[in-house]
Amino acid sequence: MSDLIIYSHSENFRRDVLENPLPVVLDFYSDECPPCTALAPLYERLAERYWGRVSFVKIFRQENRTLAESLGVTASPTLIFYRQGQEVGPRLNGFISKRDLRLALEDLLGEAAGEQEKKVATADLIILGGGPAGLTAAIYAGRARLNTVVIDESLPGGQAASTYHLSNYPGTGGSVSGRELMDKMLAQALSLDVRVDDFKEVTAVDLTGPEKVVVTEDTEYRGRAIILATGARPRKLPVPGADERQGHGVHYCATCDGIMYEGQSVIVVGGGNSAVEEAVYLTRYAEKVTLVHEFDHLQASKIAQEQALANPRIEFVWECHVREIAGDDGVTGVTVKHLPTGEKRFVPGNGIFVYIGTEPQTALFQGQVEMTAQGYLVTDAETRTSQPGVFAAGDVRAKEVRQVVAAAGDGAVAAVQAEKYLAKLEVRG
């Protein structure tokens, strides 16, 4: 626990938050919550940076459920901002980026951060992204004795770290916590003298010259080669009202928010591994789980399918798309359209958990390397992109299989190819 953070509870809410003379950031957090784990170190760093100007308060949601519900908090983490006892600005919840939190703090204080003088850091190899692809690449690069820096916009681990358990990663005995696996990868990379800079807000990238450049809020990184391993983020439910209800009836993390629906009915949208595995997980709490899928069969692994199909608490709505979310303050259900017939029907549920794929985080690379229409990076079998010295690994690549083990394989290949590329530069130089 940090001495700079106030760990409060219901009885002290008025004193610590509403009567606090300073502006307040209030974090409702939970255990078994990957986004909460990812946010915690950033929260501590910002508490140190804004000490004396902003009070950073945390309340454990599961032990203060009545207070959380009275404030309309149904997702972890949820950040609420207060000035003179009044809530101000929009709330933040789920996976919260450093940029979003910085902008919210600037709004809370009524000021914008000035331009910082940037340090310059040089490396043989820059790895952009600290998920399984980036960390595996870092391990291989470290063993090759390359001067390597990993830059991550959050806590290293990527989407894998937010997975409740991985059931098919070789050598783990059948199941392992995603966070545990990623922590071990990070420790291994650090043991090889790889530099890892986390919670960096990347503002610009230049991949076109012989020296690759990555610009963050305080540092300009320069390297002779770069591996793009920025991963992907969950695709949002594309219906009106989904964004407005995120964290308040619409969720993207069952381990974070499933407990709020104990004894209730929930809806899971999707049919791949994530959707099916999280539907099974949600039966720990929910009385009924309805899985809505656009096909007449599941795409998950056979074991996951067997577990879901055998679970009496799970019902299936086949060949349907969600068209509308019902409810005022929260969610009471969804209207779905049956794709073969066009018939619409109402499916009741108190919450919606969405697992309909991912979108690559490649906006910064537009116009610099070849991409598909969906924004995935085009590479050859050796992870080389259209730009010399630029490699891509993991979920950002245009490929069929997106699994942690596949991302790790990409990372290994990319690091080996980057080492060969750098060796050729040495020979030419």
Mean pLDDT of 223-250: 89
Computed over every residue of the chain, the mean pLDDT equals 91
CB 322 within 8 A of CB 269: yes
How many whole angstroms from its chain centre is CA 222?
26
Q: What local confidence, expressed as pLDDT, does residue 96 receive?
A: 85
Residues 343 and 364 in one domain: no
Residues 340 and 380 in one domain: no
Residues 129 and 225 in one domain: yes
Q: Is the peptide bond before 238 cis (omega within 30 degrees of 0)?
A: no
Q: Where does a domain end: 308, 332, 354?
A: 354
Question: Over 70: is that where the pLDDT of 317 sits?
Answer: yes
Q: What local confidence, expressed as pLDDT, does residue 115 receive?
A: 64
Q: What local confidence, expressed as pLDDT, does residue 29 receive?
A: 92
Q: Where does a domain end: 109, 131, 162?
A: 109
338 found inside a domain: yes
Question: At a CB cut-off of 8 Å and minimum separation 6, what does 144 contact?
Answer: 415, 419
pTM of the predicted model, to two decimals? 0.81
Residues 56 and 131 in one domain: no
Q: Where does a domain end: 109, 143, 173?
A: 109
Per the structure, the complete domain to which residue 267 belongs is given by: 250-354
Residues 22 and 105 in one domain: yes
**Active site positions, annotated:** 253, 256-257
Mean pLDDT of 160-171: 74
Q: What local confidence, expressed as pLDDT, does residue 175 receive?
A: 77
Question: Over 60: is that where the pLDDT of 114 sits?
Answer: no
Q: Could you read off the pLDDT of 265-303 as tens digits, one per residue? A: 999 999 998 899 999 999 999 999 999 999 999 999 899
Mean pLDDT of 53-73: 93
Number of domains in the chain: 3
Question: Over 60: is that where the pLDDT of 55 sits?
Answer: yes
Q: What local confidence, expressed as pLDDT, does residue 98 receive?
A: 85
114 found inside a domain: no
CATH number for the domain including 37? 3.40.30.10
Q: Could you read off the pLDDT of 391-414 as tens digits, one per residue? A: 999 999 998 888 889 999 999 999
Question: Over 80: is that where the pLDDT of 421 sits?
Answer: yes
CATH number for the domain including 405? 3.50.50.60
Q: What is the 3-state secondary structure (H, E, C) of the chain?
A: CCCCEEEECHHHHHHHHHCCCCCEEEEEECCCCHHHHHHHHHHHHHHHHCCCCCEEEEEEHHHCHHHHHHCCCCCCCEEEEEECCEECCCCEECCCCHHHHHHHHHHHHCCCCCCCCCEEEEEEEEEECCCHHHHHHHHHHHHCCCCEEEECCCCCCHHHHHCCCECCCCCCCCCECHHHHHHHHHHHHHHCCCEEECCCCEEEEECCCCCEEEEECCEEEEEEEEEECCCEEECCCCCCCCCCCECCCEECCHHHHHHHHCCCEEEEECCCHHHHHHHHHHCCCCCEEEEECCCCCCCCCHHHHHHHHCCCCEEEECCEEEEEEECCCCCCEEEEEECCCCCEEEEECCEEEECCCEEECCHHHCCCCCECCCCCECCCCCCECCCCCEEECHHHECCCCCCHHHHHHHHHHHHHHHHHHHHHHHHHC
Mean pLDDT of 342-371: 94
Q: Could you read off the pLDDT of 180-228 as tens digits, one per residue? A: 888 999 999 999 999 999 989 899 999 999 999 999 989 999 999 999 9
239 found inside a domain: no
Q: What local confidence, expressed as pLDDT, does residue 27 receive?
A: 96
